[in-house]
């Protein structure tokens, strides 16, 4: 964690591609708001050169970095110290130097939880959650979701075996927090009854990137349900459009993006920025992009 200095300390988001990243705008807003001396840029790493890029950045005086696609697993491997949530996720999206060591964290899941509970005013304790997908995004979300003490988390994935492996990996945490964990293939959703419907449905799969609607029965997306997609854009994802047609309350993952960035900023600076004004600014920018595209 870096203490406040007068000169600007360097931070970057590393990815490939990375030109589309909104992280520089988010962290610039955090820096203005908190008075922290932060310079934040994008850094493109070769697909076969992530570790070298990170080492060079730190050797040249960089203090910390965010990590995006496709390097989160490599970031995990090269971190000397991992937070519990990074270890549970098996991936790192936030790195910094402390005591000469590379520290790695995964702030995606806590960003999701804070967006749902704080920004969307939906407490997760005692609720039933349906999590679509069992890849990296879902893995990053599981421990923070379990720590909210919901009644149940159902994991549904295209490949049932992958869902089973994920549930096994988090079985101990589920027992610790008294959370029921179960799931399987996406086809198993058809066998659920209305009594087994969930309060929150989170799409952590790649379906929105592929323009596909996950096969979620309409009765699981009624008016009392929050349908949340980790993806975001100028227009609603196909999953959110489908959920809205079914009557669900909907939200994209823009708030998750801002909240995970705020947690990274806290790791680096020891200061927690206010996210509401930054989220409102980004939402307005997205809406302007949508209007410009029409």
Do 121 and 95 sit in the same domain of this protein?
A: no
Average pLDDT over residues 34-39: 97
Do 147 and 249 sit in the same domain of this protein?
A: yes
Show the domain range for 215: 109-254
Q: How confident is the model at residue 1 (pLDDT cuts 50, 70, 90)?
A: low
Do 125 and 184 sit in the same domain of this protein?
A: yes
* pLDDT (0 to 100) of residue 225: 97
Look at 221 and 208; give whichever has higher pLDDT.
221
In sequence order, what are the residues at sequence separation of 6 or more whose Cβ sits closer than 8 angstroms to the Cβ of residue 149? 124, 125, 126, 177, 178, 179
Domain boundary among 78, 105, 132: 105
Do 100 and 222 sit in the same domain of this protein?
A: no
Do 87 and 165 sit in the same domain of this protein?
A: no
User: Which entry of 10, 27, 72, 152 is annotated as an active-site residue?
Assistant: 72
Do 95 and 146 sit in the same domain of this protein?
A: no
Do 153 and 238 sit in the same domain of this protein?
A: yes
Check whether 156 has a pLDDT greater than 80. Answer: yes
Query: Per-residue pLDDT tens for 80-101?
Result: 999 999 999 999 999 999 999 9
**Is residue 262 in some structural domain?**
no
Binding-site residues for shikimate sit at 21-23, 68, 93, 108, 232, 260
Total tally of structural domains belonging to the chain: 2
Residue percentage of the chain with pLDDT more than 70? 98
Do 114 and 250 sit in the same domain of this protein?
A: yes
CATH number at residue 143: 3.40.50.720
Binding-site residues sit at 21-23, 68, 84, 93, 108, 133-137, 157-162, 230, 232, 253, 260
The reply to whether 72 belongs to the active site is yes
Do 152 and 234 sit in the same domain of this protein?
A: yes
**Is residue 149 in some structural domain?**
yes
* pLDDT (0 to 100) of residue 210: 87
**Is residue 271 in some structural domain?**
no
Q: What is the mean pLDDT of the chain?
A: 94
Do 158 and 232 sit in the same domain of this protein?
A: yes
CATH number at residue 28: 3.40.50.10860
Do 80 and 157 sit in the same domain of this protein?
A: no
Do 130 and 198 sit in the same domain of this protein?
A: yes
**Is residue 292 in some structural domain?**
no
**Is residue 283 in some structural domain?**
no
Binding-site residues for NADP(+) sit at 84, 133-137, 157-162, 230, 253
């Amino acid at each position: 964690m870096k203490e406040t200095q007068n000169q600007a300390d360097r931070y970057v988001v590393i990815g490939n591609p990375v030109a589309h990243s909104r992280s520089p705008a988010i962290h610039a807003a955090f820096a203005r708001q908190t008075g922290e001396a932060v310079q934040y840029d994008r850094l493109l790493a070769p697909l076969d050169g992530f570790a070298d890029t990170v080492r060079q950045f730190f050797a040249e005086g960089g203090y910390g970095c965010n990590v995006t696609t496709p390097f989160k697993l490599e970031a995990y491997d090269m971190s000397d110290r991992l937070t519990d949530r990074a270890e549970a996720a098996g991936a790192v999206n936030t790195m910094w130097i402390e005591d000469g060591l590379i520290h790695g964290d995964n702030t995606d899941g806590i960003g999701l939880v804070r967006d749902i509970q704080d920004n969307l005013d939906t407490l997760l304790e005692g609720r039933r959650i349906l999590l679509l997908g069992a890849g990296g995004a879902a893995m990053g979300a599981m421990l923070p979701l379990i720590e909210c003490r919901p009644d149940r988390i159902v994991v549904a994935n295209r490949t049932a075996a992958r869902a089973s492996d994920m549930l096994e990996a988090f079985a101990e945490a589920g027992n610790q927090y008294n959370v029921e964990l179960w799931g399987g293939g996406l086809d198993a959703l058809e066998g659920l009854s209305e009594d087994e419907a969930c309060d929150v449905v989170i799409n952590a799969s790649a379906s929105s990137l592929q323009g596909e609607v996950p096969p979620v029965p309409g009765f699981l997306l009624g008016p009392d349900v929050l349908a949340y997609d980790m993806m975001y854009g100028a227009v609603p994802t196909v999953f959110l459009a489908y959920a809205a047609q079914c009557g669900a309350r909907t939200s994209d993952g823009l708030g998750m993006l801002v909240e995970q960035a705020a947690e990274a900023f806290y790791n680096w600076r020891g200061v927690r920025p206010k996210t509401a004004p930054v989220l409102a600014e980004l939402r307005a920018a997205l809406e302007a992009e949508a209007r410009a595209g029409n």
